[in-house]
Structure formats: structure tokens, C-alpha cells
Amino acid sequence: MKNKIITLLLACFIINSITPCFAISGKTKEPKKVSISKTHKLREKSDSFKYEYINYNWWSNFNDEILTGYIDKAIKNNYGLKMATIAVDEYYQAIKIQFANELPSASGGFGMGYSKMPYTTSSDWGFSTPAMASYEVDLFGKNHNKTSASKKEYEGSLQDERAAYISIASAVGTTYLNIVKLDKMIELQEQIVQDRKLIYDLMLARNKEGLTSTADTVKANKSYIAGNSDLTEYKKNRTKLLNQLSVLIGENPNNSESLQRTNYDNLNFSGLIPTEISSDVIMQRPDYIKAEKMVEKSGIDVKIARKEFLPTLNISAIAFFLANDFGSIWTTKNALTMLGGGLNLPIFTGGQRLANLKLKKDVYERVLNNYYQTNLTAIQEVNDALVSIKLDEEKFADTQKQATLERRDFDYSTNKYNAGTISKLDLVQVKENVLFTDQRVVNDKVNCLVNYIELYKVTGTQL
């Protein structure tokens, strides 16, 4: 009898001190939850979603297998992208953890002890096996709302991941094209340096004969040195871009000089670039979609904060078995079962719940304004990209015309040189103008290609 009274008191203490870890929702499961689960399982089986993120087929417009190969390497090896994918899984597990709060919790245990009373020779063993269950009835859907908010965070993380893949693919393409550009710029600059060295040597020889002033000779030497300096700068920038490309594709920068690339003359973009972009395309940008999800999530958080003012209903159950011998521990005479429940409503929390509600409303307003700002920024970036394409293409066309005229002028000068009416020094100086204009053509052409990638990026690959 004494043992049963002690057991009863212990059971009452356990029931009153239990904090429900889970809750049961009276609401039906939303189809979207199943969709999230299935989608996440498919992600674990295939990497196809990564190629869908970046619209992989779009890169074939550059007609360069080396470039698409680097894009593929970046998708598979870039550590930043791996972290973005892991972050998505973290948010997915957070959904599962939160959803567990909509389910009941149960626990069990086993204990044993040995007792001996003072001044007696008698002793006894005791065995107990408590089993407990508890849940919070989600009367007002608060826990379900928390799960919905967690889903919105997961959906937002998907857009962060998508943005990361688009950004890395764009960085690979831009870096690669600039490397190809610098290859050609270095080739032309080497010719410029060679011609300036020839000009300096010719003027030095003419200076010795008194045909050219020392000042002009010094200027020629300065021009030659400046050309060498520009060549060194081009090489430095190319090495830095090669290192950057190595990191983007997940390779060691120590081997960056061995990275392959196409020749500038093979650069060709065969895709169609639109002159205007529909607003529907802007709404598919990852940052726009994420901002929208965060507004939805913040709205749910406000609902949760309001429901914190409502009471909670806790239900707990316990089955307790206590016996002096292990063989009879699970018999009905040694069992004690209890079922209890109650409403709980905090009366005074020092204004915590009210402050929390105001906080969530402020967060909602901030997130909503971020959504509006994201919308405006998206429109601005798309317009900037379109105007850059339009004006840079016009500039490229003008530079090509100028290059044609410079080459025609060089042809006339060559004829004059062959006729003996101008010196070799004059001819070499005219040739430098041709090389300098060719560098501008190279720079403008690659800028146009980079602009296409920028438009691809700011439209969320929806071209």
C-alpha cells in the first residue's frame, strides 16, 4: 500500500511537470507539404534541378564547348554552391522538426533499486517501468502556422540556392570571356610594344645622324616603356582572372595557367537577345520570389504572435509499473495508469506577448518594403542591362567602322611606303593606330557578350 501511494504521488508530479513536446493538429495535411517532401527526395536522387536553375541550354548559344564544360564543372565542384545546397537541406530538416510539434510525444524507461532498512537484516529489490505520452491540442492552429512559416523559409532557401547557381554560372561566363579578351589584348599589345621598340630604334638612329631631336627620341622611349607597362598589366589581370576561374570551377589556382580557352576570333553568340522584357519574367527572379515568400512568412508570424494570447490545451497520460520482482512487473496489480489534461493561459508576462506582436508587425512592414524595393531594383537592373546592350552594340558597330577606316589608311600608307614617299618610321606609326583600334574592337565585342550574360542574370535566366 505504501509503495502504491508513493507511486501515485510520483505519477501526479510527472503529469503536472510535463511540458508537451509535440502537438496534434485537427487540420488536414496540405498537399503542398507532400509536394515539398517529394521534391526534396527527387533533389537527393538527381542533380537535374541544378541545370534547370541556370537554363543550361542557353549557354550553348556561345558555341563553345570549353565554356559549357567550365559551367558544368562549377555546378559540380564549386564549394559555394555546395554550401547553398546544404543550406536548403537544413531548412528542410527544420520543417520536419517543427512539424513534429504537431504530433504526440511518448517516452518510456526502466529503473531498478535495492533497499535495506536500518537495524534489520531484511532487504528488497524494486523494479519500475514508467511510460508517458503527451500532446498539445492545436485548438487555434498555432503549431500548424509555425510549420507553414517554416515551409516559407524553406521555399525562400530554394530561391537563395537558385540565385547562387545563376550568379556562379554568370561569373564563370564573364570571367572566361574576359580571359579570352585579355589573350587577344596581350597579343595585340605585344605587337604594339614591338613596333614601339622599332620606332624608338629608328628615332635613336636618326638622332645620331641629327635628323631627329633628342626630345622626340626620349618621347619614343617613354612610349615604348609605357607599352611594356601596359603589357605587364594585361598579363597580371589575366593571371588574376585565371585564378578566379579556377576557384569558380573548384580547382587549385596553382594550375590556373593551364586552363584551356577558345581563341578570340572564335567567339560567337548565336542566340536572340530581346529588346524588351515582360514583367512576368521579372517576377520569376529568385530574389523577387524569395521576397514574396518572406512577406507570406512574416504574415504567418503575425498570426502566430496573436495566437500567443490564446490558451493552450495539454493532455498527458502515464502508465507506471512497480514491483519487487522483475517477473511480475507487467501485471495489472502492479500497474498505475492516469490520464489528465488542462488549459493553460499565461496571465502576466510583463508585456512580452504584446511586444512580440508589435515586433512581428514591424518585421512584416520591413519585409513588405523590402519586397517593393526588390521589385523596383529588378526593373532597374533589367532596364540597365537592356540599355547597355543597345548602346554598347552601337558603340561596337562604330568602333568596327573606325577599325576599317584605320586599316584602309594603313593600306594607303603602305602603298606610299612602297612608292618611297614616306619613311618606314611613318608607316610603323600608322600601324600602331590600327593595333590600338583593334584593341578597342576586342574590348567592345567582349563587352557586348558580357552584357548578354548580365541580361541573362538579371532576368533569372528567363531568356
pLDDT tens for 396-427 read 999 999 999 999 999 999 999 999 999 888 89
- For 364-380, what is each residue's pLDDT tens digit? 999 999 999 999 999 99
Q: What are 376's three cell numbers?
A: 523596383
Name which of 20-34, 70-84, 160-174, 203-217 the model is least confident about: 20-34
Q: How many angstroms separate the Cα of 78 from the Cα of each of 51, 89, 246, 329?
A: 14, 17, 10, 59
Q: Report strand pairing: 23-25 vs 123-138.
A: parallel
**Is pLDDT above 90 for 30?**
no
User: Cα(60)–Cα(82) distance, rounded to whole angstroms?
Assistant: 24
Cell (9 digits) for 379: 526593373
Position 344 scores a pLDDT of 86
| pLDDT of 327 higher than 80 | no
**Straight-line distance from the first to the last Cα atom of the chain, in angstroms, rounded to the nearest whole number:** 81
Q: Summarize the confidence of residues 340-366 as an average pLDDT.
A: 91
Q: Once rounded to an integer, what is the mean pLDDT over residues 133-141?
A: 89
Which letter, b or e, does each residue of 222-253 get, where b requires 16 or more Cβ atoms within 10 Å of its Cβ?
ebbeebbebbeebeebbeebbbbbbbbbbbee
Name the β-bridge partners of 460. Answer: none
Residue whose entry in the numeric block shows the C-alpha cell 589575366: 238
On whether the CB atoms of residues 7 and 127 are closer than 8 A, the answer is: no
Look at 211 and 188; give whichever has higher pLDDT: 188
Note whether 461 and 54 are within 8 A (CB). yes
Q: Higher model confidence: residue 249 or residue 329?
A: 249
Q: How far apart are CA 138 and CA 144, in angstroms?
A: 8
- Strand 23-25 versus strand 335-344 pairing type: unpaired
Pairing of strands 123-138, 111-116: antiparallel
Q: 10 Å Cβ neighbour count for 37? A: 13
Alpha carbon 102 to its chain centroid, in Å, reads 31
pTM score of the predicted model:
0.85
SS3 55: coil
- Tell me: pLDDT of 245 over 80: yes
Asked if residue 185 lies in contact with residue 232, where contact means CB atoms within 8 angstroms, the answer is no
Q: What is the pLDDT of residues 260-314, one digit of tens each?
A: 999 999 999 999 999 899 888 999 999 999 999 999 999 999 999 999 999 998 9
Pick from 18, 85, 84: which is nearest to 315 by CA? 18
